[in-house]
Structure 1
Amino acid sequence: MSQTLTQIAQELIATNKKVQLIYAFNGTGKTRLSREFKELIAPKNIDDPSSAESEPSRNKILYYNAYTEDLFYWDNDLDADADPKLKIQPNTFTGWLIKLLQELGEDGNIVTNFQRYTSSKATPTFNQEYERKTKDQNNNETDVTIPAFSEVTFHVAKNTPPSAPETLDEITEDNITDVQGQYEKIKISKGEESNFIWSVIYTLLEQVILTLNEPDFTNRITNKFDNLEYVFIDDPVSSLDDTHLIELAIDLVKLIKISTYTEGNGLKFIITTHNPLFYNVLYNEFK
């Protein structure tokens, strides 16, 4: 008799291995499994279903799935068609994530990971805090503060004159107005968008592992990961060619391998995928 998602999630927990790989076709419930697993690891307050969790689930589990991608959405600037930007949906997780990325200065690593896995010529730029004019419900003009790291714009080079920065990496929010004639803002493809979001989570994961590998709690760069138990990754591949797909898989395995794990103690990883190539590379690299 087939198992329920709850039973599968319970079995994953009981197995108590550092890494567990699952291959399954699309539509068979991989994303729902990640949610079911998360509810078992960090259940909501059953005494008051309308309340927030007794503690944030991110303290015990970090996960990447379709819901993670839903936290990012486009403002297409339909009026002027000149300023498309990828916005980050405000909630407790993204607020925590944005603050953490700012504190650790990880934006440069996100750019590097994004460009490596997509070979994209677009450079992501996180915004600094700024004021924007808008209309209230009474149609009166008012100023709204846009928090730092809540928007991402993507720039590509035009016909660059000699005075322009030598590399796209030199573009920052501070000097972007100086190069508006040399670079243009674009809306990246859906595949690039998915891989940018994965790059954000992968960069976070790099920092998590490096931090937890420090055995002395007092020497850790942050204590926000001290109680973390699981990382659940559901299909981190979208519109990648085979070369970049293999590269991503190998990098992920290398990262997980350096994560400290001794006699059942340490971070545990669950990876699900519908892609046979991605699964096979992971399986062979972990052997």
Structure 2
Amino acid sequence: MSGVRTYQNLNSLVTRLRDDLNDKELVLLYAYNRTGKTRLSMDFKDQGKRKNNGKSDTLYFNAFTEDLFTWENDLENDSARGLKVNYDSRFFDGFSSLGLEPTIDEYLSRYADFGFDFDYKEIRQGDETFSKPYFVKFSKDKQENIKISRGEESIFIWCIFMAICERILDSHESYQWVKYIYVDDPISSLDDNNAVAITCDLAKLLRRATNRKNESSISNPLKIVVSSHHSLFFNVMCNEIGRAKENEPKVKHRRYFLHRPNSEGIYTLQPTEDTPFFHHVASLAELQKAADPETGKLYTFHFNALRSIMEKTAAFFGHSDISFCLKKIDNDDNRALFNRVLNLLSHGSYAIFEPTPMGEDNQNLFRQILKDFIASFQFDLPKIFAEPSARKPT
């Protein structure tokens, strides 16, 4: 597959991804926030249920997974603090028989320094009774029932997911129904150090999943989709999955930049296998679209975005600030003007959710800076912004 493909709705996009996984083991998607990644993961799961007479074939990790856990502060007694567990979900089916706690603890100890303890109760499901977790308490430095941060909570839930994936790789009967694993934005609340550690651990597990064999030593890979808006996560994942490992077959995979050009439900996929993928290159294409005098809309926060891209570009070349980028501009007067404008207009408190339109003079300056910057560094921008009507629908 080459070039950009257009899809008229999420269902046709899901069909594309599932078709890819007929001859590939893994698909990596990069997409901005609010593109529809969470809905895509749920449509992927739903399409599997439709194909399997209502039986799911996908274990997913996304915002809905985190919603299976809700924090309880115990306002009345201020003591029994912890996470309430929505045990009705199939996500917890294997807890009573798999002994997941040691594996959860093994993962958690890599990223955090608090302990946990599950409370269980007997749950009736149909004609059977199961022991399932309904509450989790946390401890640290001999202090019980502590409050953990949102980032720590995300790490803990992620460790549960990783522990379950370990049991899926062992082909445990509680998760025999899982044929696909879909992971969406697992590190949205984490700092970069934890983000890299978690990405490497996930990549290691996914490589095992794609190389899984059955009891007869016949290839039986799990099929996987990973999507994220986090550029560091995406690039580390591409590097870890893409590189050859000694004594391991290469992971057959595809990488895409997923984009939604407008609010009409149309999506595009651009392959990124052939050339390195850089988040700021795609961001520049977005700014170029916003700067189009005919169809674009420029807001004051776009100066912040442009300065951020310049800082990333300077850092990529080993320089500390954007003066490196501005030195590439030949005209001395323009260089000095652009420097003043970027310093002045990229440090205001501009609200992205209540954006302020950019004044006409500043729009002209923004377009000139952007044009000279792109020309100076000869960026090859993603060709994702042609009018949808000009492309052949898929």
Q: 1:279 aligns with which of 225, 228, 234?
A: 234
Aligned to 1:111: 105
Q: Is this contact kept in 2: 1:126–1:148, CA < 8 A?
A: no
- Offset at 1:128? 4.2
User: Does the C-alpha gap of structure 1 residues 56 and 192 become closer, same or farther in structure 2, counting only changes over 3 Å?
Assistant: farther
Q: Residues 87 and 132 of structure 2 are in contact (CA less than 8 Å); yes or no, is this contact kept in structure 1?
A: no
SS in 2 for 1:248: helix
Is the aligned partner of 1:43 residue 2:50? yes
Task: Percent identity, please.
Answer: 35
SS at match of 1:91: coil
How many angstroms apart in 2 are the aligned matches of 1:81 and 1:265? 49
Instruction: Summarize the Cα distance change of 1:268–1:79 in structure 2 as closer, same or farther, 3 Å threshold.
Output: same
TM-score (normalised: structure 1): 0.71
SS at match of 1:42: helix
Question: Secondary structure of 1:186's match?
Answer: coil
User: In the superposition, relative to structure 1, how do residues 124 and 11 fare at CA in structure 2: closer, same or farther (>3 Å)?
Assistant: same
Q: Cα distance, 1:249 vs. partner?
A: 1.1
Say if 2:212 and 2:221, in contact at 8 Å, map to a contact too. Answer: yes
The aligned runs of 1:1-287 (5 Å cut-off) are 2-3=6-7, 4-16=9-21, 17-43=24-50, 54-57=53-56, 60-94=57-91, 97=92, 99-117=93-111, 119=112, 121-129=113-121, 149-157=133-141, 182-209=142-169, 211-212=170-171, 222-259=172-209, 260=211, 265-287=220-242
Task: Mark the CA change 1:261 to 1:104 in structure 2 (over 3 Å): closer, same or farther.
Answer: closer
Contact 2:83 2:135 in 1 (8 A): yes
Amino acid at match of 1:249: T
SS in 2 for 1:43: helix
Task: Kindly provide the CA deviation profile for residues 173-232 of structure 1, in whole angstroms up to 9, marking residues without a partner as x.
Answer: xxxxxxxxx4232111111111111111111001111x13xxxxxxxxx32333421100
Contact 2:25 2:223 in 1 (8 A): yes
Contact 2:188 2:230 (8 Å CA) reproduced = no
Does 232-241 or 27-36 show the bigger shift? 232-241
SS at match of 1:74: strand
Paired amino acid for 2:167: Q
Q: Which runs of 5+ in 2 are unaligned?
A: 123-130, 243-394
Q: Residue 30 of structure 1 aligns to which amino acid in structure 2?
A: K
Change (3 A) 1:224 1:11: same
In structure 2, the residue corresponding to 1:67 is in which secondary structure? helix
Shift of 1:91: 1.7
Letter in 2 for 1:114: L
1:130-149 Cα shifts (integer Å, max 9, x gaps): 9xxxxxxxxxxxxxxxx652
**SS of the residue 2:173 aligns to:** coil
**Structure 1 residues 129 and 22: CA distance shift in structure 2, 3 A:** same
Equivalent residue of 1:149, what SS? strand
Return the structure number with greater relative CO, CA threshold 8 A, min gap 6: 1
Q: CA deviation at 1:285?
A: 1.0
1:8 Cα deviation after fit: 1.2
Distance 1:256 1:279 in 2: 14
Q: Is the 8 A contact 1:18 1:264 kept in 2?
A: no
- The 8 Å contact of residues 87 and 133 in structure 2, kept in 1 or not, is answered as no
- Looking at structure 2, the residues matched to 148 and 261 of structure 1 have their Cα atoms a distance apart, in angstroms, of 28
Q: Distance in 2 between matches of 1:56 and 1:156?
A: 41
- TM-superposed deviation, 1:252: 1.1
In 1, the alpha carbon distance for the partners of 2:185 and 2:222 equals 19
The answer to which of 243-252 and 267-276 deviates more is 243-252
> Taking structure 2 as the reference length, what is the TM-score of the superposition?
0.53
Larger radius of gyration: 2
- RMSD over equivalenced CA pairs, Å: 2.3
Whole-angstrom distance in 2 between the partners of 1:244 and 1:92: 28
